[in-house]
Amino acid sequence: TASPQEDNIPTFYLSNAGIVKKKYTLKDEGKLLFESLDNDCEEKLSLAITADAVKSAVKEMVLTPTKVNNYLKCKRKFFYDDVLRLPGRKRPGLVFGSCCHKALEEIYKKFMATARFPDFTFFSSAFKQELSFQGADKSIERSCLDKLVTLKNWFENEKRSPVKPLGLEKRIVITLGEGVPFVGKYDKIEAEDKKTNLVCVIDYKTGKPDKYLKAVLNFSGKIERNDTHDYIRQLASYKILVERDKTSPQKYTVSRGALVFLEPVSENAPSYGLKKGVFKNAEVSITKDMTDELESTIKDVWAGVQQLSFDKLPERDEAKCGNCEFDNICWRN
C-alpha cells in the first residue's frame, strides 16, 4: 500500500518484487479510509493489548544489544517499539545507516574473495542498490545521496590501509544465565594476534561522532547505564557473543572494540583532541569486568521485561521525548 501522494511504494518487499505502482486518482481518500475501519477499532485495540497478550509476546522475545540500550533509555518506548512493534516512519538516519552497512559488507566480501580492495564506484553502486530496496521517499533518497560525497572522503582514507576481516556480518545466538536469549550481529572482526586468536571487533557508525568520541575518551572502565555509553555497551556485547559462539570453527578472544565513524567530527574540541572535519575512530579495551557487569545488566533488563515493567519516564524529557515518535502517545494528556 502507499499514499496516493507518494512517489515510491514504502514497502520495499513490493519494489523488490518488481511491482510498479499504477497511476490513479482517488477522489475522496478520507472517505475510503473511514469506511475501511470498524467503528469499534479502538475498543478492539484495547482488548488486544491485554496483560496476557503482552506476557506471551515478551516470553518469545530475544534480547539484542540495541534492545538492551532501548530499555535502559526508556522502558515505555521499548514497550511501543520492541514489544507492540508499532509501525513508525522511515527515518533518514536509519535508511542512510542501512545503505552504508550494506555497501561496506559488499566491499569487504569482495576484498576477502579477491584480496583486492574495490574502488569507490563499487561502494557507491552497492549503496545505491540498497537505497532502492529501502523504498524511501524522494527527500530521504536525496539526503542519502548527498552524503555520498562525505562517504567518498572516508572511503579514500580507508582504502590506504584496509584490513582483511576474519569475520563479517555474522549473527550469533547465545543463552545467558538461566535462559536469557541474547542475539547480536557484529559488523567485522579483525586479527590482533593470529597465534593466540586475539581479535578486535569493528562497529561502523553513521551520524555525528562527537558525543561518543568524548564518552570513550572519558571512559573510566565502568559502563554506566546512560545514553553516552550505548556504543561501549554494544562493543562489550560483541565480546560476549564472539567468545561464546559455538558455531565458530575458531575460538576467539576479543581484546578490544573499535567504533569506526563514517562521518567526520562536527565541532572543534581541543581538550579532547577533536578537530572539525577530521575522521576519527574510537577504541576501547574490553575487560572481563566489563562483560560481567554487562551480563548482569542484560539479566536485569530481561527480568524487567518479563515482569512487564514498562513505566514511562517520571516526567517529559525534551531531549529524549522530543525526537520520539511515540511522544504524543505518552504525553498527550
For residues 180 and 94, the answer to whether their CB atoms sit within 8 Å is no
DSSP string, 123-156: HHHHHHHHHHHHT--HHHHHHHHHTHHHHHHHHH
Alpha-carbon distance of 43 to 162, in angstroms, equals 57
DSSP letter assigned to residue 50:
-
Alpha-carbon distance of 277 to 83, in angstroms, equals 39
Spatial CA neighbour of 143 closest among 88, 92, 102, 207: 92
C-alpha grid cell, residue 16 = 523488490
For residue 47, count other CB atoms closer than 10 A to its CB.
10
Alpha-carbon distance of 325 to 138, in angstroms, equals 21
Beta-bridge partners for 284: 257
Residue identified by cell 530496496 is 133
Q: Which amino acid is at 197?
A: N
**What pLDDT is stored for residue 79 in this prediction?**
92
Residue identified by cell 563514517 is 262
Spatial CA neighbour of 301 closest among 77, 69, 85, 53: 69
Beta-bridge partners for 254: 199
Spatial strand order of the sheet with 198-205 comes to 167-176, 180-193, 198-205, 253-261, 282-285
For residues 252 and 197, the answer to whether their CB atoms sit within 8 Å is yes
Spatial CA neighbour of 223 closest among 213, 211, 235, 206: 235
C-alpha grid cell, residue 54 = 503482552
For residue 187, count other CB atoms closer than 10 A to its CB.
21
Residue identified by cell 557473543 is 241
Radius of gyration of the chain (CA): 22
Spatial CA neighbour of 190 closest among 176, 204, 175, 172: 204
pLDDT tens series, the chain, 333 aa? 455 555 544 566 666 777 766 665 655 666 666 666 555 544 444 545 677 788 888 988 999 999 999 999 999 999 999 998 887 777 888 999 999 999 999 999 999 999 999 999 999 999 999 999 888 888 999 999 999 888 999 999 999 999 999 999 999 999 998 899 999 999 999 999 888 999 999 999 998 999 999 988 889 888 887 777 899 999 999 999 999 999 998 899 999 999 999 999 999 999 999 999 999 999 999 999 999 999 999 999 999 999 999 998 888 888 888 888 888 888 775
**What pLDDT is stored for residue 329 in this prediction?**
82
For residues 225 and 72, the answer to whether their CB atoms sit within 8 Å is yes
Q: How far is CA 217 from CA 223, 240, 276, 283, 285, in A?
A: 13, 23, 17, 9, 12
For residues 103 and 71, the answer to whether their CB atoms sit within 8 Å is no
**What pLDDT is stored for residue 29 in this prediction?**
62
For residues 262 and 154, the answer to whether their CB atoms sit within 8 Å is yes
Alpha helices in the chain (DSSP H): 12-16, 29-36, 41-48, 51-59, 65-73, 75-78, 92-114, 120-134, 138-146, 148-160, 210-217, 230-243, 288-306, 318-321, 327-330
Task: Determine the 3-state secondary structure of 297 from DSSP.
Answer: helix
